[in-house]
């Protein structure tokens, strides 16, 4: 197949592309606007492949999307491009409305026009796979409840509301126009190449630098943690085997309170980096409880039994194995994350002229 991946320079998108190039014979066309979260250095290991192409394209630019579809003629779309940080959506929701809603609409329309021009065999084989989040479901009150594919939507943040909107658009384009769409909703991802503003890499890098480890509220917010390479394999399984019109929840079967995650990272660092910064006796001493974010959901938990039952996928990593791999990756890849922290990665993006003042 030839797969068009949107947002392929992001955290999950780059994992998907690395998985496809390293484990299949498929071709990938990566389109990414290269916002702050887009980092082509996350694709260094596969960028020389003859089966990989990159186009710096904004998913809100219909003219460019039409060109990409006509030039590359993909067999499937994996739509991952999105603004995804809850705190940023609270501070500035406009970008989330533009990218996650308007961008998805524009992608759907470009894909629909392209799909309508295909012959019947290619039309029936084409897939538009929309990758979403469990945050669209809102909050779980009970300790035993799980999100299923039929859980009603109750988004709490501008981010999750914008993703819920995009999910509804995708399903409407299937029902109204017949565009063959599939939706997946995943739990919290973690792993290599994760942007350092997110919880797990932030805690690792702050601890290494002797900085405080800020934990919202009492730290008892529960999330289901999914290793990003497991997620990438699940997404490829869905785009190749999933049924049109279906939704698949993807989770790691690893419910952990945020404070437990932070303490696990501290324990691993005690083992792996015993030589601490001068101001640190124990890494856990850096934990600092801060004012909770507005509208913070308390618990997310995914029922991922459908994808295992129907498509045969289940995660390979436990949280214990995945978090160790993640900490070790950050310890061994200082060049990657230091260039993100100092901003140098963003000044050298292909075709961009971002100055330090603009950043």
Residue 262 lies in a domain: no
Residue 357 lies in a domain: no
Task: Say yes or no to pLDDT of 251 above 80.
Answer: yes
Q: How far apart (Å, rounded) are the C-alpha atoms in residues 184 and 226? A: 14
Residues belonging to the active site? 134-135, 159
Residue 93 lies in a domain: yes
How many structural domains is the chain composed of?
1
| CATH value at residue 74 | 3.40.50.720
Tens of pLDDT, residues 157-196 = 999 999 999 999 999 999 999 999 999 999 999 999 999 8
What does pLDDT average to over the chain? 93
Phi-psi domain of 219 (left: phi exceeds 0; alpha: psi -120 through 50; beta: other)? left
Q: How many residues does the chain have?
A: 359
Residue 221 lies in a domain: no
Residue 50 lies in a domain: yes
Residue 290's DSSP bridge partners are 216
Q: How far apart (Å, rounded) are the C-alpha atoms in residues 24 and 8? A: 17
* Whether the Cβ atoms of residue 262 and residue 323 lie closer than 8 Å to each other: no
Closest CA to 78 of 240, 243, 315, 249: 240
Q: How far apart (Å, rounded) are the C-alpha atoms in residues 231 and 18? A: 12
Residue 137 lies in a domain: yes
Residue 197 lies in a domain: no
The predicted pLDDT at position 64 comes to 98
Does the predicted TM-score (pTM) go above 0.85? Answer: yes
Tens of pLDDT, residues 37-82 = 899 999 999 999 999 999 999 999 999 999 999 999 999 999 999 9
Sign for the CA dihedral angle at 135, 136, 142, 145 comes to negative
Residue 339 lies in a domain: no
- Which residue segment(s) compose the domain that 111 sits in? 2-191+227-253+298-318
Q: Alpha helices, DSSP H only, in the chain?
A: 11-23, 62-72, 86-91, 94-96, 103-116, 120-125, 158-177, 199-208, 228-241, 258-272, 305-311, 319-332, 334-341, 344-347
């Amino acid at each position: 197949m030839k797969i068009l991946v949107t947002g392929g320079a992001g955290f999950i998108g780059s994992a998907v592309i690395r998985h496809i190039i390293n484990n299949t014979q498929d071709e990938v066309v990566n389109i990414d606007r290269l916002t702050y979260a887009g980092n082509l250095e996350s694709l260094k290991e596969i960028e020389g492949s003859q089966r990989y192409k990159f186009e710096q394209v904004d998913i809100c630019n219909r003219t460019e999307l039409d060109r990409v579809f006509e030039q590359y003629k993909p067999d499937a779309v994996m739509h991952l491009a999105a603004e995804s940080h809850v705190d940023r959506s609270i501070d500035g929701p406009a970008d989330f409305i533009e990218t996650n809603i308007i961008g998805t609409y524009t992608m759907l329309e470009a894909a629909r026009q392209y799909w309508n021009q295909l012959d019947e065999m290619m039309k029936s084989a084409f897939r538009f796979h929309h990758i979403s989040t469990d945050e669209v479901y809102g909050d779980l009150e009970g300790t035993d409840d799980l999100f299923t594919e039929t859980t009603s939507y109750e988004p709490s943040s501008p981010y999750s509301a914008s993703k819920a909107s995009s999910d509804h658009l995708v399903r409407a384009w299937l029902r109204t126009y017949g565009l063959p769409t599939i939706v997946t909703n995943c739990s919290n991802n973690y792993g290599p190449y994760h942007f350092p503003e997110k919880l797990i890499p932030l805690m690792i890098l702050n601890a290494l630098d002797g900085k405080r480890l800020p934990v919202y509220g009492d730290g008892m917010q529960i999330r289901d943690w999914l290793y990003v390479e497991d997620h990438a394999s699940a997404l490829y399984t869905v785009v190749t085997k999933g049924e049109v019109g279906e939704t698949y929840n993807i989770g790691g079967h690893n419910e952990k309170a945020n404070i437990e995650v932070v303490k696990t990272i501290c324990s691993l660092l005690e083992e792996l980096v015993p030589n601490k910064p001068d101001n640190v006796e124990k890494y856990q001493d850096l934990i600092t409880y801060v004012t909770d974010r507005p509208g913070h959901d308390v618990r997310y938990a995914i029922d991922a039994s459908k994808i295992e039952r129907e498509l045969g996928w289940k995660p390979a990593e436990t949280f214990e194995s995945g978090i160790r791999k993640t900490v070790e990756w950050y310890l061994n890849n200082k060049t990657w994350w230091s260039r993100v922290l100092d901003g140098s990665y963003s000044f050298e993006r292909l075709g961009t002229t971002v100055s330090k003042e603009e950043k």
